Amino acid sequence: MKTLAIFGAGPGMGRATARRFGKEGYQVALVARRADRLSSFVAKLTAEGVAARAFPADLNDIDAHPRLLADIGPVDVAVINGSLELARLKPVRDLDVETLRAVFETVVLAPVSLTRLMLPGMLERGSGALLYGFGSSAKNPEPMLAGGGAAQASLRNYVLALRADLAGTGVTAAGITIGALIRDSDAEKLFDTSADARRGFDPERVDPADLAEMLWGMATTGEPAEQVVGA
């Protein structure tokens, strides 16, 4: 049975993606900080016939990544999301070195660490997909979101370069850039309850099942290099 691992699994796109791949016979490893919430995800997915397991972990603890991947086992498809705290989404004039350093650790270095641990196995098997989530400011600079945009742009560059390097290996790397609110997600809940989160934006909202379908297509066909939603 093939394994899908979702790093930074949430109630929106994460759970929808688990459901989509589970329908195709994948077993799913859900990774996030909160053990209680992961357990609820697993219970609901199991009731729907998806073979799901929970792996509570702080993905920002890079030293713990090798043990985490050993516990999960070989990964055929990985969906990798870096974490970003609202307080670090600083406007560009307020962005300082310490904030940007902290953002890079969570948005860039943690995904790169996970990638480097999974990639050798995928290359040895001659198949696999590494899929990454970006915010719209990774591609379209937004002064109010500079704290996240600069780091996500760096990760996006890394992913596209990795994709080019992996050509012909059977392993693909690709990204989905989202400039919309994902329904049922933590971001949507925060946006609807916090003026600080809204910051004058009024984005469209997208169905997580549609995003999951995009990820399924990217994993199975290797195309395209990047899906752009609302950005």
pLDDT in tens, 29-68: 999 999 999 999 999 999 999 999 999 999 999 999 999 9
pTM value? 0.92
Are β-strands 3-7 and 27-32 bridged in parallel, bridged antiparallel, or unpaired?
A: parallel
Quick one: DSSP state of residue 123? H
d(CA 83, CA 122): 24
CB 208 within 8 A of CB 184: yes
Cα 201 to Cα 64, 103, 134, 144, 208, distances in angstroms: 36, 22, 17, 10, 20
* Residues of the chain where predicted confidence (pLDDT) is lower than 50: none
Burial (0-12, 13-18, 19+ Cβ within 10 Å), 161: exposed
| Alpha helical stretches, state H, the chain | 13-23, 35-47, 65-72, 97-104, 110-125, 146-165, 186-193, 195-198, 208-221
Q: Shortest CA distance to 184 belongs to which of 214, 149, 211? A: 211
Q: What distance lies between CA 201 and its chain's CA centroid?
A: 22
d(CA 160, CA 219): 15
Q: Longest Cα pair distance anywhere in the chain, in angstroms? A: 50
Quick one: DSSP state of residue 62? G
Residue ranges of domains in the chain, CATH in brackets: 3-229 (3.40.50.720)
Residue 192, pLDDT score: 64
Residue 205, pLDDT score: 86
Q: For 67-99, what is the HEC assignment?
A: HHHHHHCCCCEEEECCCCCHHHCCCHHHCCHHH
